[in-house]
Structure 1
């Protein structure tokens, strides 16, 4: 839903007719242009047990015609890079109006200029292409869900599942010589949905991604072993991992999470089961933090581990 104050898609807002929003003026820096912007937080029972929030400013969202929370196209719910590529292939202008410089000052200047412009051409031809693209993506998703319906509907014993999940695996590529899939867990339920895939995609093309934000765990799979090994090595050698026999620690936007090689297994489908698994994840994260502290011969920076402890105190 676009307005004069925010641009948030209907999926992120949820199905509730009455939504209570918390407004915080200049609450954070925009992740795109680095300027302070007004944050909106709200509850969405269908998407997360925690509050969702806007992560980029209204200017950057309008410049990219995307949702301020999930960063997908505001009208069609598809990735903006895929959308713009499809339009270019059709000989039409992409909807994104802003370049992506790395310099903070340049980003802010460009955003100031865009704030005065907000004119996006949305021709009938553009609408037709994007509608077909969104429909195709939705059909693919529906087909996948239909193929897995019997698996999704089957009852899952969360206790037994938790014992089978690869919480105790590591990132040792020699030990998992043929595996290209990773088990990821411990991230916050309000982490932007593109962050994990974006991190992994820097090391190679992903074959699949199955992330459950309510359970706070999931899987990603690379298309080839070389990419998987590069991803594993980058986390193992990022300076945060003192214990190479456990799942590796990685931090995205100040949010800690764990990564290890792991064979994909079905995750819970009901809200109650997801909450149970969420509790298991919290306990494992705390246990791994304690193990890392004990295994470090030189000690870990107190501030880093204090932050991790605060996140997983029950």
Structure 2
């Protein structure tokens, strides 16, 4: 049985040697003092089959050890991480990025043509600083709205969790909490996410993760513009508690003249009001689902109109009259006239501009209604006669209500 040998089997000059890997923040981990094991020419690249320097490290506590899978030339050719093969700028699969940017990078599939193509790429990158993408991807990288909406704004460390313990799945794991593997239910055999191929991910074809993200992109919500043309204010949510007004202004002044910026630190939001409606529409279109401030993806919405807020304020219960009872309804009297809680139920608040004479008699409390409907008598005084309500034994009498106190007398 003969084995096929390529030129890389004998040409050690094409083998790759590096001092530090090309990694994304998720694969590198949250530990700033991570220690790596470096092995020179320790493995072949899974794409070009060239021996390269591999790195192995642990991204954090209770995480699995990770290592580089492809060489740096193949990683820079697609601008991806050497471990997870996700785009370094957006953190998305290659298939999603190429579909959004409309990139068709045809890398040779045969061994000899692939080696020749890789050698030419190495010669092109020899004159660069090594931080830029090469090939068609490097020439096509540009800001994309759809990629900005789908991209993650923070590292997804959950991807570094240990693998599932096969003994626990069988019910035979006896380590318990000391087991370094994860005790979770595995994916179903029919789940497409359980069948992932590193070459399909690199070449951007038949990637189940990419297909899932593309389906989610088709159902992304959109910001509807309100019909009221007087609305020029945007609601800016999910802000940091310590954010200041200049930071908000720096992200919104480029779309037009700003009238006011109102910060609400307790609610972690702000209101940006523009002088023109066209400026507010442009700001909403450019920032919706794409604006990131202090590592947070900002929520953009249209604020409510001032007329609608005034309508809501006028529907307060203080301005609502109680329902009119049907005719013949007997209103019970208070048992304790000095009870504070019963007294509060008899207070009738009138809307502004309404007079007591305009209120129907059945809506006026009984004690108040009797005061205005009691029979009167004429009390003489220097200028004529004074009509005053008569007092009875049952009514509460105060010194100020006594007619004799003012010098009048009955004849």
Q: Tell me the TM-score range normalised by the shorter chain.
A: 0.3 to 0.5
Larger Rg: 2
* TM-score, length basis structure 1: 0.40
